[in-house]
Amino acid sequence: MTISRLPTAALSLKQFLQRQRILGIYRNMLKTIRQVPSEGDRKYLRDWARDEFKRNKSATNPDAIRMMVSQANNHLEELQKSLALARS
């Protein structure tokens, strides 16, 4: 379990780092979503991000986790690129 609800079981170092990384991605995503111009889009994206992260919260397979992390990174990059395009 990477994002555990309560820190009951001690996480191994790799799991701990992964957890921090995922929280960092979530943070960056929320910060990027803040820059979206329209309020309705912002709300939709925030709910989407929240659902995605919560849905996969209890995944245990490390390969699946890594795949989801890279997927999240791709989404984030896409969002940032389209925002940069929209701004220019």
Comparison of 24 and 62: residue with beta carbon closer to other proteins? 24
Least distance to other proteins, CB of residue 62, Å: 19
Nearest approach, Cβ of residue 26 and other proteins (Å): 5
Q: Under the rule (CB under 8 A), what is the footprint of other proteins? A: 3, 5-6, 19-20, 23-24, 26-27, 30-31, 34, 50, 53-54, 57
Q: Convert 45-84 to b/e letters by CB count within 10 Å (16 or more is b).
A: beeebeebbeebeeeeeeeebeebbeebeebbeebeeeee
